[in-house]
Structure 1
């Protein structure tokens, strides 16, 4: 399912409803491991589209966090023209369905650094307000640090085959497990990108996925979520970068907890 800017940003080249998250984490093979997300799931999921003349493509993922704002990665909006983009919500498929919204403002973090992929968090303010229904709902953000060793879920439309550069039409989901930033840093020192470590606390978080599966181009900005003890679905991360794609290294996310105050300051 994403990664690259000479290394690893998951821009495309070209989830889950609250009641069902625990079912997915418990191992429903229909929707885990890069399987199609079940109907009614991931109702917070956003497809960020790029436009050129009469062409349109899925570029990045995102999540609805209130009636006007989408949470995504900074590199999905950094130095972009809002008039060449739009967001689509309420559909699991890229080729049809959903509601389209024009963009009022792109808000990358002011300290976003592309060379070292730090502060990779951003927001999109839409024109008007999202019309909520059973397929379109906001996701709550986790205020506290994400627990280590916690099962979590990621959703996106990124490449499902890097070699053939194929993309899915249907929304995919994959199970991850959070790991400590120290463990993540140790592993990534052996990767092709040792200059991107250490992994910052609390601004970044890491998660390990099943072997030979993981995020890829087009998954950037997508939401990583967990099921809280009270069966509430909350977002803990935003896909930032990976060792492309599905290699034997953790995937790296911007931490919702680490940027919670920044997010709130921008959406008020």
Structure 2
């Protein structure tokens, strides 16, 4: 999964281009996006544009970070039995975590597991608002029970090269500028772009901790 950039950069690349780009780190689902349990709200930090419903059990590492009253505010990915990886800009004092849940509905789903985040470790090199090293680990209050619905992802040992197809998943709006939040987890294959194309679209904003992905048809996690 690829984490979308903040909405300002996503919607307003400095150089007009037919290529849609996303300039953050591999590992999390949706970027910061606070909305209610029915999927409504004004958050637009993350999008799965032109995606489709993920198959059941297809993304057992996808986590939802929740506020009180079942508000989704960020996505995360399970990387170990007691650890999540998300974006550093998703830091909150109280973190509730939902795993094994395919829809945004607060109704219990068979296979779901609920946790609390008891420790957060932002990347020591994280800087805001440039989003350099926008990564954070969250420790769960207990280990997961591994099932077909909940299991850690295998993290690649190297960065993806240009031309690599990557899967992005999340509950972000499926259209832009009109917001249309999905009821089911969305999946989309997007292509990693070269550093040159990335820097061309976002001059002065891209560093070695970032990469771009998308395509000319506008399919992306960040429109």
TM-score in terms of structure 2 length: 0.75
Distance (whole Å) between structure 1 residues aligned to residue 75 and residue 215 of structure 2 = 18
Change in 2 beyond 3 A, CA 1:13/1:7 = farther
Q: Write out aligned runs for 1:206-225 (5 A).
A: 206-209=212-215, 211-216=217-222
Partner of 2:40: none
CA deviations over 1:84-130 (Å, ceiling 9, x no partner): x2111112112132211011111211221112111101111010111
Cα shift at 1:6:
5.5
Alignment counterpart, residue 34 of structure 1, candidates 34, 51, 59: 51
Highest RCO, 1 vs 2 (Cα 8 Å, sep ≥ 6): 2
RMSD: 2.3
Distance (whole Å) between structure 1 residues aligned to residue 120 and residue 142 of structure 2 = 15
CA deviations over 1:128-160 (Å, ceiling 9, x no partner): 111110111111111123222111111111112
Q: Write out aligned runs for 1:67-216 (5 A).
A: 67-77=81-91, 80-82=92-94, 85-95=95-105, 96=107, 97=109, 98-189=112-203, 195-196=204-205, 199-201=206-208, 203-209=209-215, 211-216=217-222
Unaligned 5+ segments in structure 1 are 15-31, 190-194, 217-245, 247-268
Query: Counting helix residues as a fraction of each chain, which structure ranks higher?
Result: 1
The answer as to whether partners of 1:49 and 1:57 remain within 8 angstroms in 2 is yes
Unaligned 5+ segments in structure 2 are 11-23, 25-30, 36-48
Query: Counting strand residues as a fraction of each chain, which structure ranks higher?
Result: 1
Instruction: Report how many aligned residue pairs link the two structures.
Output: 185
